Chains A and B, each alone.
Chain A
């Protein structure tokens, strides 16, 4: 074989078939010592599956794996760990009622002389060290349920790093992080690379890949398309290989907001989380909300949607003061809310694509409480086609879809309701470029139809790319507002981090 000596890992001719889907079709993938090797591809291309095969979670139907030029059988996650492979999973999988420290060392707890007893002091001391490597200043004795999702993601990173691994797989670690944490993570990755550790890195953010990766492998529909050195390839090339066609402008931006106010918020305050928030949203406008993690953007959306109560403030819809006490009422007033945590708060994982998409409109499609299933089927198929949702059929369980396709299913559910105002909380988290472009087009089209859109996002390019106006939130207060013409990354970052624009 070709220069096998250089490779720490080579996965040869891997085939993995799920019922109805060939997730990996004869994929060969090799990684060198001490490189950062990016893995890209559309949602459902097979990236996670390939890495799960490596981590002993999925067993391949055929193919072999060489580690340090030796053929290995990786039957279980435990075996993978002992072979020096650790993985950060795409879906957050911490245990909610254990502490941060317990989660980091789960299964590998430092113990006392007698092996059964945990040395708590040592565990928490080591955990503290792991966290500080990531610039995280949280008490390792905090329960995981009590920390926000971004910090949970960093705990996952700490967990993977704490295994002294030769190969670290990172499956979309930055999808729940903002720039600050991402920078920290990259610093740590470079440091690991210098120590000769190989990192396999999956991301849908191409700019990150150009920043951090040495080489990049593209997968499409379960096939290996190419592996190239990063300097030999352009962003457009990668996109082309991923989606198999030329992609047009990522941010279409055609519509113009109307002058009619559809939603107005006055003086919204809630405990320490939200402080005197006021803003308005016009018909056909895309209002971006930016801010650091934990700034309170999600809290704001939840308050608007009637999930959490708030202490003061008034909400107007089409000029009428309204009280929204539950999501049901919010929906009946024409609000829609795509939550940031799709698995916990959005999807019915055990149910089918059809059921997930149509759950909110069953009533409209029923007579005497009995839905017309054929109409629901047509409706679902329309969305599958329109949004390019990758699923073998409408009866596939949503849990078997790739993350990006799950997100599209959820968006489809909200589109069904024809909302007046649609709140999107991190709508492109974990979504491939092709799908992102589709979602942006969709947002633009919705705005064109007169829907007011609130778009919460931690990705600055996206906020800048599609918003008509942006407000920045910091520690529960609005610290800046910019029209499309005034927008720049620097201005937003400054408002988000320090609370205002320095004149300097």
Chain B
């Protein structure tokens, strides 16, 4: 089947994978706690939230767009879901409504971009400010605490010894892969990211796909938000602030290009894991908070340089 395409894709990420392993080996030399099963599960669980958001972000960036509003959508849907739970409606309904809200806000982003031709950066920046404002207005700035135990399972549950968030994230990645690389919709999304005019002239419903992609991004942000508040047992209006940066960084570190039409969720997965491992390593090694950022920046830069180096060699 698409064998040589696969090999190509793998080759492109080869350097990144190497950089990732070098990082893992280095940290495991510095801390014997690092490569233990509980910590690996811990890292996976922590990356699940950024991972879920980053899958949506990957789709958005594949269309040559960007979504700065993910963190705010997460925040707004989280507080509203928490409030719905407090109001006593059935858990599954609250979840459904929360996810639907995320989907709708994302869809509005899509409309602003396709119907009103607002550049994605501006449209989602506006939405980021707006949704955060709504989250604060809605809660009056106060956290909503004490959530239904059966709801919290989404964040705290385990299947066997694997945390539920990890399984959800894995599912999201797998579905993302199926959608982008196996379904015709994915191929259409790559095509429109590659050349929007050509896509339109080929009869691809470009606007519909763009709206869909932002809606999915909103939906996934909402999903990530549920996991997060499930774990925290509380939704704060500030929750999710700055998450857009982590998600975008993961996507771009993973090799998806801002010009659109090039990249994949597997690259994003590596990006997400790299970021999570850095954060985990810094905590395990008890790096002082002053030096934390320096180390983080240097590690990301070195990882990418290694990646490019390997790419050149290939």
A positions within 8 Å CB-CB of B: 305, 307, 326-328, 330-332, 337, 339, 344-352, 355, 359-360, 362-363, 366, 369-371, 373-374, 377, 393, 395, 413
Contacts and interface: CB of A to CB of B under 8 A. Distances in A.
B261 A359 contact: no
B2 A351 contact: no
Nearest to A413: B202
A307 B205 CA distance: 13
A355 B202 CA distance: 12
A351 B202 contact: no
A4 to B, nearest CB: 38
B198 A347 contact: yes
A495 B219 CA distance: 60
B137 interface: no
A1 B191 CA distance: 52
Given A328-B203, A347-B195, A393-B4, A370 B190 contact: no
Interface string B181-213: 011110110110011011111111100000000
B64 to A, nearest CB: 12
A348 B261 contact: yes
A366 B195 CA distance: 23
Contacts of A328: 203-205
A326 B194 CA distance: 20
A362 B8 CA distance: 23
Nearest to B3: A395
A371 B184 contact: yes
B5 A362 contact: no
Interface residues of B, number: 27
B1 A373 contact: yes
A332 B205 CA distance: 12
A286 to B, nearest CB: 22
26 contacts: A305-B201, A326-B200, A327-B200, A327-B202, A330-B203, A331-B202, A331-B203, A339-B201, A344-B195, A345-B198, A345-B201, A347-B195, A348-B191, A348-B195, A348-B198, A351-B190, A359-B191, A359-B204, A362-B184, A363-B184, A366-B183, A369-B185, A370-B178, A370-B184, A374-B1, A395-B5
A35 B60 CA distance: 54
B15 to A, nearest CB: 18
A327 B187 contact: no
Contacts of A373: 1-2
B262 interface: yes
B175 to A, nearest CB: 12
Q: Which 6 A-B pairs rank lowest in CB-CB distance, beginning with the nearest?
A: A362-B184, A331-B203, A348-B194, A369-B183, A395-B4, A328-B203
Contacts of B188: 359, 362
A327 B203 contact: yes
Nearest to B261: A350
A355 B187 contact: yes
Interface string B103-136: 0000000000000000000000000000000000
Given A359-B199, A395-B4, 11 more contacts: A347-B195, A347-B198, A348-B190, A348-B195, A348-B261, A350-B194, A362-B188, A366-B184, A370-B184, A377-B1, A395-B2
Given A350-B194, A351-B194, A359 B201 contact: no
Interface of B: 1-2, 4-5, 8, 178, 182-185, 187-188, 190-191, 194-195, 197-205, 261-262
Nearest to A345: B197
Between B185, B194, B200, B205, the greatest number of chain A beta carbons within 10 A of the residue's beta carbon is seen for B194
B204 to A, nearest CB: 7
A362 B195 contact: no
Contacts of B178: 370
Contact of A370 (B1, B183, B195, B198): B183
B205 A350 contact: no
B213 to A, nearest CB: 15
Contacts of A326: 200
B183 A371 contact: yes
Between B182, B190, B201, B262, the greatest number of chain A beta carbons within 10 A of the residue's beta carbon is seen for B201
A346 B187 contact: no
Between A331, A332, A347, A359, the greatest number of chain B beta carbons within 10 A of the residue's beta carbon is seen for A359
Contacts of A339: 201
Contacts of B205: 328
A346 B4 contact: no
A330 B205 CA distance: 12
A352 B194 contact: no
A230 to B, nearest CB: 39
Contact of B201 (A307, A363, A369, A370): A307
A355 B180 CA distance: 13
Nearest to B204: A359
A453 to B, nearest CB: 18
Nearest to B182: A370
Nearest to B4: A395
Contacts of B203: 327-328, 330-332, 360
B201 A352 contact: no
A371 B190 CA distance: 15
Nearest to B206: A328
A344 B197 CA distance: 7
A363 B204 CA distance: 11
B260 to A, nearest CB: 9
A352 B195 CA distance: 13
Contacts of B198: 344-348
Contacts of A307: 201
Contacts of A377: 1
Nearest to A335: B203
Contacts of B190: 348, 351, 355
Given A327-B201, A327-B203, A331-B203, A371 B187 contact: yes
B202 A360 contact: yes
A258 B88 CA distance: 72
Nearest to B197: A345
Given A331-B203, A350-B262, A369 B194 contact: no
Given A328-B205, A345-B201, A352 B5 contact: yes
Contacts of A348: 190-191, 194-195, 198-199, 261
B6 to A, nearest CB: 10
A352 B190 CA distance: 11
B184 A351 contact: no
Contacts of A327: 200-203
Contacts of B201: 305, 307, 327, 337, 339, 345-346
Between A331, A348, A360, A413, the greatest number of chain B beta carbons within 10 A of the residue's beta carbon is seen for A348
A47 B178 CA distance: 42
Contacts of B197: 344-345
